[in-house]
Amino acid sequence: MIVKLSLIILGSSFTGDNFVSTTISGFKEVREEDKSQLVGNVFTNVASNYDLMNDLMSGGLHRLWKERLVSKLNPFPGMKHLDVAGGTGDVAFRILETVNSETEIYVCDINPNMLNVGKKRAVERGETKSLIWAEGDAEALDFPDNSMDGYTIAFGIRNVTHIEKALVEAHRVLKRGGRFLCLELSHVDVPLLKQVYDYYSFSIIPAVGELVAGDRESYQYLVESIRRFPPQDKFALMIADAGFQKVEYENLVAGVVAIHSGLKL
């Protein structure tokens, strides 16, 4: 049963005789166990059209954002990198292009459909050696401690149920000197642009989703989850709480997208 609270905050309530924790998924209240399933359903639905929809929604800008993310990462030959929630492999391919030699890039995603799309693309591009596709949960990664030089998560962390856990896991798997980079849709504070962005998000995107992917619900969820995600400064504090140092963020397009970075020492 979905339980509505008067304040839209993380909390717990009980139905009948058991405590049920609730979390935020879009603007609907759902039980925690249900959130990951809901997210899973969304991405199963969008997987096949994911790249096309990204292009349409961002006007092709998402490519530039991912390129900026990779240049900030500053990859080097021989690095071990983990790209979480990177199902279709966008970031991983770009890292490979930058490094241009043998590396180990692990692409982890909770959704096997997204991974399959990525694997297909890899075969098409002839990139089979350096990429390792792994199904896994950002909150409970299957990698040993202190094993990765870099960790990226692009447009994935807002779908995680417990963001703090994902951050702690990121801290765990990184080596000393390793960097955490997160590319995520974030909050716009610039007055006029905010209104334009809101209108675009709530009116245009779900409509395009319906037209192109035949799925208004998923894209409605997407847009709402962006608004629910913590703003840049708060997210930076969360990253620091997980143990990272030198936590900074860079706003792209005045805050539509932000790249947060942290250093593990």
Partner 1 sequence: MYRTVAKQLLRGARSRVSGTDVRLRFPNPHSTISRRTFSPSPTPHNSGEIPIPRVYVDLPNSSESTASPSSSSSAGSSSTASSAEEGRRHTRERPRGEYQDEQARVLQSALRHVLTLGWTEDAMMAGARDVGVSPSIVGSFPRKDAALVEYFMDDCLEKLIDRIDSGLEFSNLSPSGRISKLIRIRLELQAPYISKWPQALSIQAHPLNFPTSFKQRAALIDEIWHASGDDGHDIDWYVKRTVLGGIYSTTEIYMLTDSSPEFRDTWAFLDDRVRDAFDLKKTIQEVLSLQHIWQKLLVLEWGTRFKDLSRKFFNGEAYWGHLS
Q: Is 233 known as a binding-site position?
A: no
CA quadruple 174, 180, 182, 186: dihedral sign? positive
Q: Is 142 known as a binding-site position?
A: no
Report the C-alpha dihedral over residues 98, 186, 87, 90, rounded to 10 degrees.
-30
95, two tokens = 């890292």
Terminal C-alpha separation, the chain = 44
Q: Supply the minimum distance, in Å, between the C-beta of residue 63 and partner 1.
A: 15
Q: Supply the minimum distance, in Å, between the C-beta of residue 247 and partner 1.
A: 4
Q: Is 138 known as a binding-site position?
A: yes
Identity of the residue numbered 51: D
Q: Is 137 known as a binding-site position?
A: yes
Q: Supply the minimum distance, in Å, between the C-beta of residue 254 and partner 1.
A: 8
Q: Closest Cα to residue 226, out of 204, 197, 264?
A: 197
Decide whether 6 or 100 has the Cβ nearer to partner 1.
100
Decide whether 104 or 135 has the Cβ nearer to partner 1.
104
Residues 6+ apart with CB under 8 A from 191: none
Decide whether 52 or 265 has the Cβ nearer to partner 1.
265
Q: Supply the minimum distance, in Å, between the C-beta of residue 76 and partner 1.
A: 5
Decide whether 79 or 226 has the Cβ nearer to partner 1.
79
For 165, other C-beta atoms within 10 Å of its C-beta total 15
Q: Supply the minimum distance, in Å, between the C-beta of residue 85 and partner 1.
A: 20
Coil vs helix vs strand at 113: helix
**Burial zone of 9 (CB within 10 Å; 0-12 exposed, 13-18 middle, 19+ buried):** exposed
92 close to 83: Cβ distance less than 8 angstroms? yes
**What does the binding site for partner 1 look like in residue numbers (CB under 8 A)?**
72-74, 76, 79, 149-150, 174-179, 232-233, 236-237, 239-254, 261, 263, 265
Decide whether 55 or 189 has the Cβ nearer to partner 1.
189
Report the C-alpha dihedral over residues 49, 52, 58, 63, rounded to 10 degrees.
120
Decide whether 198 or 241 has the Cβ nearer to partner 1.
241
Q: Supply the minimum distance, in Å, between the C-beta of residue 180 and partner 1.
A: 10
Q: Which residues are annotated as a binding site?
A: 88, 109, 137-138
Q: Which residues are annotated as a binding site for S-adenosyl-L-methionine?
A: 88, 109, 137-138
